[in-house]
């Protein structure tokens, strides 16, 4: 289990226990055990985008990989954990129930992962073998979008985690499918998905901002505003302390297991990792609404307090912590040549699966689209045994069958200025 996996596993239980203890003293209303368990999953979903925008992947590759890896997997894991909690039978808690919960969690995680990988491989195989789409950018882009959407629909149909399925489907498509399409389609899909992602992010934050003014929710807490403030402060304190309680000890544990000093996590990097996970975003908001709303509106004061407190924490962490992030990261990790030794480390597992780093596309002729988003960039310099054998297996069996960089020739019609030059 790598550092990113360790960083995301122990937070929910701490949040659940702390919330149960503090909320009992605040007397916010009746909350069931399932609600407290859900709180742990809700506030475990982090939003580390702000920190990633400030970090320099070339100067601090290991730190960037840790923050990015935790960010992309954390939200999906929180959703899977939340769904497993909803299916948990709390009428009679015993060891069998605990084993059932653990089994259900791993079933959702593994089944969603396998479904996403399967649909991603299917999309790569279809685009590689069926050349009908390769004569049209429109068909290629449409097929990629529809296959990604198919993974989500199938996950919902089989009662799995849609976000986790789409996530792994996207990883597979970035490694295989994206390299099977023409150059025009590569540029189109890159900018199309980036635009859709940007629009969706704007819509989510606009929705959260407008919902913060919803009179119905605040009507339940207006008679006791101090209680709502107390809940928000308690949750924020739990997030701050809880994250510190597992980031620093687990970083120490990881450092003890690392032999090379270049692979170890420095104290300033640990502080950056701790800070990157303090902000909460759209996933926390969506899960809170799922748990604490009934039939589209809040019916109990306790539920209303939790909704308003979640909104408060999201707005506070996004605005206040977001404004502090850039100067804090620049103070802790000043841009200099001090990180050159980390860049040259050939033993570090440093390249993330996905990145938002944009590369110029000026040379469209014979350019080899070296996207950091490709899994082959992750395995460019494999040092661990499993990565080495995976790369050999990928080159020998997977990429010849499903395509990928260097395994699919350009469509001659397009390279000669053929039927689709849009």
For 139-186, the pLDDT digits (tens) are 888 889 999 999 999 999 998 888 889 989 999 998 898 888 888 888
Question: Which range (2-6, 114-118, 187-191, 318-322) has the least confidence?
Answer: 2-6
The pLDDT confidence band at residue 353, using thresholds 50, 70 and 90, is: very low
Q: How far is CA 39 from CA 68, 287, 338, 367, in A?
A: 23, 9, 41, 48
Give CA torsion, residues 72, 75, 80, 81, to 10 deg: 130
Query: What does the alpha-carbon distance between residue 417 and residue 142 come to, in Å, rounded to a whole number?
Result: 21
First vs last Cα of the chain: how many Å apart? 45
Q: Residues 33-61, buried b or exposed e (16+ Cβ, 10 A)?
A: eebbbbbbbbbbbbbbbbbbeebebebbb
| Adjacent-strand bridge partners of 297 | 294
- Cβ atoms of 41 and 78 within 8 Å: the answer is yes
pLDDT attached to residue 117? 95
* Cα angle, residue 108 at apex, residues 40 and 154 outer, rounded to 5°: 120
Decide if 311 contacts 208 (C-beta within 8 A): yes
Share of the chain above pLDDT 90, in %: 9
How far is it, in rounded angstroms, from Cα 7 to Cα 251? Answer: 9
Better pLDDT: 223 or 421: 223
Taking the C-alpha atoms of residue 15 and residue 262, their distance in angstroms, rounded to an integer, is: 33
pTM of the model: 0.72
- The tokens for 253 are 């544990």
Check whether 348 has a pLDDT greater than 60.
no
Which CATH code for domain 3-334? 1.20.1530
DSSP β-bridge partners for residue 294 = 297
Give tens-digit pLDDT for 68-111.
877 777 888 888 888 888 888 777 777 887 788 888 888 988 99
Query: For residue 154, what pLDDT is reported?
Result: 95
| Between 183 and 20, the higher pLDDT residue | 183
Would the pLDDT of 386 be above 60?
yes
Q: Kindly report the average pLDDT of the chain as a whole number.
A: 76
């Amino acid at each position: 289990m790598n550092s990113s996996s360790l960083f995301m596993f122990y937070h929910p239980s701490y949040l659940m226990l702390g919330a149960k203890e503090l909320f009992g003293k605040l007397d916010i209303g009746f909350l069931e055990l399932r609600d407290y368990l859900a709180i742990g999953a809700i506030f475990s979903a982090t939003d580390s985008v702000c920190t990633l925008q400030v970090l320099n992947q070339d100067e601090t590759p290991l730190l960037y990989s840790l923050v990015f890896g935790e960010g992309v997997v954390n939200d999906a894991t929180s959703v899977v954990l939340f769904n497993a909690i909803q299916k948990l039978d709390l009428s009679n808690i015993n060891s069998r129930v605990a084993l059932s919960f653990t089994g259900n969690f791993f079933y959702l995680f593994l089944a969603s992962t396998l479904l996403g990988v399967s649909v991603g491989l299917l999309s790569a195989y279809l685009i590689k073998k069926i050349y009908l789409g390769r004569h049209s950018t429109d068909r290629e882009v449409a097929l990629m979008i529809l296959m990604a959407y198919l993974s989500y629909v199938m996950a919902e149909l089989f009662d799995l985690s849609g976000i986790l399925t789409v996530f792994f489907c996207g990883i597979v498509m970035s490694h295989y499918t994206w390299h099977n399409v023409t150059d025009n389609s590569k540029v189109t899909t890159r900018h199309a998905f980036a635009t859709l992602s940007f629009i969706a992010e704007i819509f989510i934050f606009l929705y959260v901002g407008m919902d913060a003014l919803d009179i119905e929710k605040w009507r339940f807490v207006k008679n006791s505003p101090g209680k709502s403030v107390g809940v928000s402060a308690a949750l924020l304190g739990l997030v701050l302390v809880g994250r510190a309680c597992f980031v620093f000890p687990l970083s120490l544990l990881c450092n003890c297991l690392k032999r090379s000093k270049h692979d170890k996590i420095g104290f300033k990097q640990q502080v950056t990792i701790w800070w990157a996970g303090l902000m909460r975003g759209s996933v926390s908001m969506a899960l809170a609404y799922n748990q604490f709303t009934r039939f589209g509106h809040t019916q109990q004061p306790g539920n209303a307090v939790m909704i308003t407190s979640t909104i408060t924490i999201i707005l506070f962490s996004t605005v206040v912590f977001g404004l502090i992030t850039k100067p804090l990261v620049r103070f802790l990790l000043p841009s200099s040549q001090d990180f050159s030794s980390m860049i040259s480390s050939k033993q570090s597992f440093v390249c993330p699966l996905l990145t938002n780093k944009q590369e110029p596309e000026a040379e469209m002729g014979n350019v080899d689209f070296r996207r950091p988003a490709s899994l082959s960039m992750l395995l460019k310099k494999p040092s661990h045994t499993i990565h080495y054998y995976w790369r050999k297996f990928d080159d020998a069996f997977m990429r010849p069958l499903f395509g990928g960089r260097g395994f699919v020739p350009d469509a001659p019609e397009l390279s000669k200025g053929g039927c689709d030059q849009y």
